[in-house]
A and B are shown apart, each in its own frame.
Chain A
């Protein structure tokens, strides 16, 4: 899989840089330093050039992710409907700040500018599931669902 990414894109064609980084992140969940070096070699760019692009865009991460990614929408409609409190409740519940991963690597908490589901604000999205019209009271229940899943997996 990994080797394929480099075969897909022609050497020294810088226009594919973002697409390559996206593919690598798709595989690893983040951009490992080793891969960034490889990309720079492949495209004939300086390492700082690749790093500059990787840090410019919000999508790219340079640290590994937790098992479940929680994205809290911070769009205008969600903000008006108190998503700040939702975020705070999640931070309290998990004991981390937005952008961090819990120590047991179970959850990563992120904020997104807008998920685009403003009509059911406030929205959080965990992996591929959307939760609309979330209230602070529901947060522990939602998190427990994922914690239980994890326990079930480790029990096996």
Chain B
């Protein structure tokens, strides 16, 4: 036997056309329908092979998610293949997804027969020779790049869960990410996959599934935080000949990448969650609406769906339960607003992705006017664990109102960027400093931006806030989809507000006036702040600017209260949280014409320090405004009237001769 769909002997009969309800249970505990020691042996061996428990050759796991590939994992893979041929070693190479420690990619794990699986990080092609020699030939540990081991802590090799980055994490959704091969349905089953589906179809009624989800307190992980069980119940109670279930994988938030990682590293988990959801509400068809910008995720999902059909886990009469369900991928075409459920439905119907007023909620009347449930990737990925381990187990982690864990995409000015899954109720400080390892280059922490364009920037004073839906709202951010961008003293808050407003303004669909016009005006006001008005400047401009500032807060409130959908309602958040926590920075820009972080170029002056400049001429060549003059080997100088403040000279100077004030 090479895979579970193969029959152990003639007595086994599962196939998509003749489904057997015991297929999943049998795969792990098999065989269940007949007693045969040979078949038992076959199943046991297959499971062990798939879990790499007993291997007779070394196994090499390489993290091949987008972050791994971007760090050069494919080059490492070819280098390893080449080295294995050169050394004449027979080993198995298994591509996995992302283990979450993106900052240390490419990550390579090596498992020798009878030994623990040991993880090595930051492996470059030039390290491969040493790595293979030390680990496989000499059977030692390659100390230089050691990360941790998947076994017990011993001989100075820490267990991987004890290193600071993983220590505070609690993995539910990301359990398999980076551990199993995302292209292999058999590995997923061997790791306990589809067990929840098996339990739901064989033992639980749809009502019971919904009850479990309700009791678990699982809330929408897309950011809204609507209780998932209640949403499912609404759709379940609605009578209709067809119902739909949709997975929102249109992760448009700049600075968030957890959905991508789940799709690339554990696609079957999402599919399992969706099938359970479909069973609970009685949906016959599902869509995964995924960003076209995630080609790898789409490829793996396509593959996963085909495999599920092959195994009879999608299609007609799934596991002989009389339940039919199939799904399809719809590629999003790059519109942030399509993350809003009604806009997403419009987009699947082939229209412009514009939201419509709710009610009726999609659970009443959604896709093609039929009851539709839409959940985020992470919400669906939580479902198998809830069904498997029970609602009480799930509800035991978290705070009073928010249960379970949350995956955050930790990025920005932080040492350990990557994906972290933490129990709700952890403080922001722990995430930034304990897991994230603080700020690189000994810079000072300034803010953390949570929840993408609809979230807010939180300063040091509120870092002891516990993470849950309500407490984040109280301090002026929101859960959002889980982007977690850390900013240090070199980040200017006015610039950040400008950045988000530019994004929102570009992505506003234009259907409702408050959002279309309001964000535009708000952006104009913010853009006028870091501008230098010379003495001969336009007086009306200056007047306009102050008028704008006076009205900024009120404008923000109006946009919040009157916009049609979540995009507009939350658009002013970055500005409001900026004014709430970083008012001094805004005032510094306004009254003193200074940008402490040296970001707002318009109000900076660039000067060349004649004592340091050796006249190499690089800046002169780089300057597109021809504002730099000077003889070769003599100190140069900048003509201030010509200078466009592009900062290219500062970037290109190798001697730090350019001073910014």
Bound together, the chains give a CA A137 to CA B349 distance in angstroms of 46
B330-355 vs A, Cβ < 8 Å mask (1 yes, 0 no)? 11011110000000000111111100
In the complex, 29 of the A-B residue pairs with CB atoms within 8 angstroms, ordered by the A residue number, are A15-B348, A15-B350, A18-B350, A21-B333, A53-B350, A56-B509, A58-B334, A60-B333, A76-B411, A76-B483, A76-B485, A77-B411, A77-B485, A78-B254, A79-B254, A79-B499, A80-B485, A80-B491, A113-B334, A114-B253, A118-B255, A118-B483, A119-B103, A119-B410, A130-B70, A132-B71, A136-B648, A136-B652, A137-B651
Find chain B residues with CB under 8 A from A78 CB. Answer: 254
With contacts A53-B352, A59-B333, A80-B413 known, is A113 near B648, CB below 8 A?
no
Smallest CB-CB separation from A77: which chain B residue? B411
Kindly state whether residue B647 has any CB partner on chain A within 8 Å: yes
CA separation between A77 and B334, bound complex, in Å? 19
A24: Cβ under 8 A from any B Cβ: no
CA distance A89 to B335 in the complex (A): 27
Contact assessment for B418 and A119 in the assembled complex, using a CB-CB cutoff below 8 Å: yes
Query: Which residues of A have CB within 8 Å of B331?
Result: 18-19, 22
Q: How far is the CA of A63 from the CA of B418 in the complex (A)?
A: 37
Given the complex, which residues of A lie within 8 Å of B330, measured CB to CB? Answer: 18-19
Given known contacts A16-B350, A77-B412, A85-B647, is B335 in contact with A56 (CB within 8 Å)? yes
Asked if B351 and A58 make an inter-chain contact with CB atoms under 8 angstroms apart, the answer reads: no
B594 within 8 A of A: no
A19 to B624 Cα, complex, angstroms: 42
**B230-252 vs A, Cβ < 8 Å mask (1 yes, 0 no):** 00000000000000000000011
Pair A113/B336 contact, Cβ less than 8 Å: yes
Determine whether B260 belongs to the interface, using a CB cutoff of 8 Å to chain A. yes
B71 to A120, Cβ gap below 8 A?
Answer: yes
Closest to B336 in A: A113
Residue of A nearest to B103 (CB): A119
Q: Does A62 contact B (CB under 8 A)?
A: no
**New A-B contacts (10) at CB < 8 Å, excluding given A78-B254, A117-B102:** A17-B351, A21-B333, A57-B334, A59-B334, A76-B254, A77-B255, A80-B413, A113-B254, A113-B507, A117-B67
**Category for how many chain B residues contact A:** 35 or more
Q: Does residue B217 face the partner (Cβ distance < 8 Å to A)?
A: no
Is B375's CB within 8 Å of the partner chain A?
no
Q: How many Å lie between the Cα of A115 and that of B67 in the bound state?
A: 10
Residue with the greatest number of chain A CB neighbours at <10 A, chosen from B71, B333, B487, B496: B333
Judged by a CB distance under 8 angstroms, whether B409 is at the interface is yes
Q: A53-B350, A92-B624, A137-B652 are in contact. Are A116 and B66 (CB under 8 A)?
A: yes
Bound-complex Cα distance A97 to B256 (A): 26
- Closest A residue to B499 by beta carbon equals A79
In the complex, whether A3 has a CB less than 8 A from a CB of chain B is no
**A1-55 CB contacts (< 8 Å) to partner B:** 14-19, 21-22, 52-53
**A96 sits at the interface (CB 8 A):** no
Minimal Cβ-Cβ distance residue in A for B453: A76
Find out whether the CB atom of B70 lies under 8 angstroms from the CB atom of A132. yes
A119 touches B411 (CB 8 A): yes
Whole-angstrom distance between the alpha carbons of A103 and B491 in the complex?
A: 36
A114-B651 in contact given A17-B350, A18-B331, A119-B103 (Cβ < 8 Å): no
**Which 4 pairs from chain A and chain B are nearest by CB?**
A119-B102, A76-B255, A57-B333, A75-B254
Q: Quick check: is A121 within 8 A (CB to CB) of the other chain?
A: yes
Chain B residues, CB < 8 A from A120? 67, 70-71, 102-103, 105, 417
Q: B257 is contacted by which of A16, A17, A22, A118 (Cβ under 8 Å)?
A: A118
Question: Looking at the complex, which one of B251, B410, B652 makes contact with A116 (CB distance below 8 Å)?
Answer: B251
Write out, one digit per residue, whether chain A residues 117-136 have a CB within 8 A of any chain B CB (1) or not (0). Answer: 11111010000001110011
Cα-based distance from A140 to B350 in the complex (angstroms): 41
The minimal Cβ–Cβ distance linking A153 to chain B, given in whole angstroms, is: 23
B402 contacts the other chain (CB 8 A) = no
A112 to B350: give the CA distance in the assembly, Å.
23
Q: Select from chain B the residue with minimum beta-carbon distance to A89.
A: B648
Which of B67, B103, B255, B335 touches A57 (beta carbons < 8 Å)?
B335
Complex Cα gap A114–B413 (Å): 17
In the complex the two chains form, what is the Cα distance from A113 to B652 in whole Å?
A: 26
Asked if A113 and B503 make an inter-chain contact with CB atoms under 8 angstroms apart, the answer reads: yes
| B263 CB → nearest A CB, Å | 10
- Chain A residues lying within 8 Å of B411, measured Cβ to Cβ, are 76-77, 118-119, 121
Within 8 A of A (CB), among B614-654: 622, 624, 646-648, 651-652
Tell me the smallest distance from the CB of A26 to a CB of chain B, in Å. 10
B453 to chain A, nearest CB (A): 8
Chain A residues, CB < 8 A from B67? 117, 119-120
Contact partner, B333, options A14, A22, A88, A89, Cβ 8 Å: A22
Which residues of chain B come closer than 8 Å to A89, judged between CB atoms?
648, 651
Alpha-carbon distance A141/B314, docked complex (angstroms) = 49
- Chain A residues contacting B624 (CB-CB under 8 Å) are 92
Q: Give complex CA distance A85, B330 in Å.
A: 35
Contacts of A132 in B (CB 8 A): 70-71
Known contacts A53-B352, A60-B333, A89-B648: does B293 contact A118 (CB below 8 Å)? no
Q: In the complex, are the beta carbons of A74 and B254 less than 8 A apart? A: yes
Residue A67 lies at the interface, judged by CB distance under 8 Å to chain B? no
The answer to whether residues A112 and B293 also contact, given A18-B350, A80-B485 and a CB cut-off of 8 A, is: yes
Find chain B residues with CB under 8 A from A136 CB.
648, 651-652
List which A64-115 residues lie within 8 A (CB) of chain B: 74-81, 85, 88-89, 92, 112-115
Beta-carbon contact of B412 and A121 below 8 Å = yes
List A contacts of B85 (CB < 8 A): none
Find chain A residues with CB under 8 A from B500 CB: 76
Query: Are A53 and B292 in touch, CB under 8 angstroms?
Result: no
Cβ of A75 and Cβ of B352 under 8 Å apart? no
Query: Are B499 and A117 interface neighbours, CB within 8 A?
Result: no
Q: What residues on A are CB-neighbors of B418 within 8 Å? A: 119
State whether B260 touches A116 (Cβ < 8 A).
yes
CB-CB < 8 A to A80: which residues of B?
A: 412-413, 485, 487, 491, 496
